[in-house]
Chains A and B, each alone.
Chain A
Amino acid sequence: MGAALGFRKLWLVVERDLRMFIQYKFLLILRGIWFVAQVTLFGLIVNKMVQEAAAEVSINYFQYYVAGVTIITLYSTAMFIGYDIFEEAEHGVFEYLLTLPVSRRELVMGRSIGGGLRSFIYVGPLLLVVLFILGVSNPIYLLVAFASLFLFAFGVSGMSITIAVAMKSGDKYDILIGVLDALIVRLSTTMYPTFYMQRAMPAYASIANFNPLTFASDLFRWGTGVEGALQFSPLLAILGLFIFFFAFTFVGVVFYERRLEGGGWQ
């Protein structure tokens, strides 16, 4: 009975975040344009520029990039929950949420799950287009990759909430997320294979080997069959994503439960 009630409360929090996300029609359309611009402009043009290098490591760079940009989109939409938190803090909604008969843990976990789930729902239609471009060679592999991407999305959403609650300042959050984006995306295999990172600067390749975006994009490429430059065993990548998910969804809860109270939002 108690567990069922707890789950119901958790679901209410998740449902609220999903409903809020659907309200952002303008934002969702703009994000879609952003994705299309990434694929049809940057992807096509850079593909032309790096064709010889891509052939050297047996990949079609356009397909490689499309898979990578899908992961970047999943990452950036999952991060957006942090902006929601600041909007709520600015309008005093955050304090209202704290007065609800929902425990802090349920609230934070629900938001983390809601943030991940809504990013996955948003990326869903884009994924269909991407799968049309990339094709599917093995449905089982694809399902495993999708399950891992769920872990990734929940982990990113949890990370966004952790940073937002730790900062308690919209400006600082925006800056830190900008810097984090710049580093986490560029030091991953979303845009280029490890082989070339290694050749350019071995340290970059070493960092990329521990980057959750590398795990997610390599797994997605493995799932769709765009696997010319896969560096890891899929099991290792799944383990990496599980650790990332666990750290920010469960261990992170303990940290932000302590930071939720006391106001101080800027």
Chain B
Amino acid sequence: MKAILHIIEYDFRNFFRYRWFVIGLIAMNLADLFISAVVFTQMASTSIVVNYFRFFAPGLAVVGLFASAFMIGREINMEVRREIHHYLLSLPMTRTELAIGRVLAGGLRGMLYMTPLLITNFLVLHFPTLPQLLLILLTLLLLAIGISGVSISIAVSTTSFEKFVTARGVVYYMLFFCSSVFYPLSVIQVLSAKGLAPLVAFAQVNPLTNGSDLIRSFLLNSPEYVFSPLMLLNVAVFSVIFAFLATFAYSKILLRH
């Protein structure tokens, strides 16, 4: 346990070292909310989304969580390329402890970064009750750990920075476009008519859909968004699968480099 805490501390120190990267991420998130969402509020049909800005705000917390939890993969990819991982592998801890520490650190850093965005949501939309707040935080933590797992799995499987950046982009667009982060699930049904029904099914089970809709169910006070324990279960399953996959990939694949 102590070894895992050391790794988490190491990654948090690195996180603050990349403060400019974090500032860059914040700028991108704010541009999404205060430029794109503001313009789309003028364009979106009110029969589909009453107020797009309010609809998108919870999605923004998930976008921020995703981007910052994904940062751990960027660092691990850099460590592999610069062979810093040899030093990490020489530390007096098991490969599994090292891998678990990295996955957890990625998730916790995502939570830290996302907190101001979540507070913005509370200010703009509505303050949740204490049980609701705890549920939101638990769901987002599980989501962040899962995303960190995805990121680490990609990082150790790609040999160059370009491949990592491109894979990150593709994962980002597939997960986000097929989710209710940017638009309601009801609108995504349009893909069924275009012969893309499997993507609609994917959007329904997408953990980002469940994560953002769970926040909406507590903050929007709208009958369209009602909390269901299945939302939490969905995110938990995603988190467990990718945390295990990343732990396995990190501890095994790194030894091959």
Enumerate chain A interface residues (CB-CB to B < 8 A): 24, 26-27, 30-31, 33-34, 37-38, 40-42, 44-54, 80, 83, 86-87, 90, 170-172, 174-176, 178-179, 181-183, 186-187, 191-192, 196-197, 199-201, 204
Closest chain B residue to A51, Cβ basis: B45
Which DSSP category, helix, strand, loop or mixed, fits chain A's interface?
helix
Q: Is the CB of A40 within 8 A of B196?
A: yes
The verdict on B183 contacting chain A, using a C-beta distance below 8 Å, is: yes
What is the CA–CA distance of A186 and B35 in the complex, to the nearest angstrom? 7
Nearest-CB residue, chain A, relative to B21: A175
> Which B residues, 24 to 62, have Cβ-Cβ distances below 8 Å to chain A?
24-25, 27-28, 31-32, 35-36, 38-45, 48-49
- State whether A196 touches B162 (Cβ < 8 A): no
For the complex, what is the distance from the CA of A181 to the CA of B27, rounded to whole Å?
11
Report yes or no: B190 in contact with A44, Cβ–Cβ below 8 A: yes
**Which of these, A34, A40, A90, A178, contacts B28 with CB under 8 Å?**
A178
Known: A50-B40, A200-B38. A178 touches B194 (CB 8 A): no
- A174–B23 CA distance with the chains assembled, in angstroms: 12
Docked-complex contact B161 and A87, CB < 8 angstroms: yes
A171–B82 CA distance with the chains assembled, in angstroms:
14
Most chain A CB within 10 A, of B18, B24, B81, B183, is at: B24
Cβ–Cβ contact B177 & A27, under 8 A: no
Chain A proximity of B186: nearest CB distance (Å): 10
Give B127-186 interface residues, CB cut-off 8 Å to A.
Answer: 160-163, 165-167, 169-170, 173-174, 177-178, 182-183
Contacts A182-B27, A182-B32 given; indicate if A200 touches B42 (C-beta within 8 A): yes
A-B contact pairs, 22 of them (CB 8 A): A26-B163, A27-B163, A30-B163, A30-B166, A34-B173, A37-B170, A38-B173, A40-B196, A42-B173, A45-B183, A52-B45, A53-B43, A53-B44, A83-B162, A171-B18, A175-B21, A176-B24, A178-B25, A182-B28, A186-B31, A204-B35, A204-B39
- Complex: A176 Cα to B190 Cα, angstroms: 36
- Point out the residues of chain B lying under 8 angstroms from A30, CB to CB: 163, 166-167, 169-170
Question: What's the Cα separation between A166 and B174 when bound, in Å?
Answer: 33
A27 touches B27 (CB 8 A): no
Interface set of B (CB-CB < 8 Å, partner A):
18, 20-21, 23-25, 27-28, 31-32, 35-36, 38-45, 48-49, 81, 160-163, 165-167, 169-170, 173-174, 177-178, 182-183, 187-188, 190-191, 194, 196, 199
| The residue from B27, B161, B187 contacting A170, defined by CB atoms under 8 A apart | B161
Question: From residue A52, how far is it (CB to closest CB) to chain B in Å?
Answer: 5
The answer to whether B162 touches A80, judged by C-beta atoms less than 8 angstroms apart, is yes
Query: Taking CB as reference atom, which chain A residue is nearest B160?
Result: A87
**Is there an interface contact between B24 and A175, defined as CB atoms closer than 8 Å?**
yes
Is the Cβ of A31 less than 8 Å from the Cβ of B166? Answer: yes
* Additional pairs, 10, CB under 8 Å, beyond known A49-B40, A53-B44: A34-B173, A37-B174, A48-B190, A175-B21, A179-B27, A186-B35, A192-B40, A196-B43, A200-B38, A204-B35
Contact B44 A45 (CB under 8 A): no
Could you say which of B31, B42, B165 contacts A183, with CB atoms under 8 Å apart?
B31
Q: CA of A52 to CA of B47 in the docked complex: distance in angstroms? A: 10
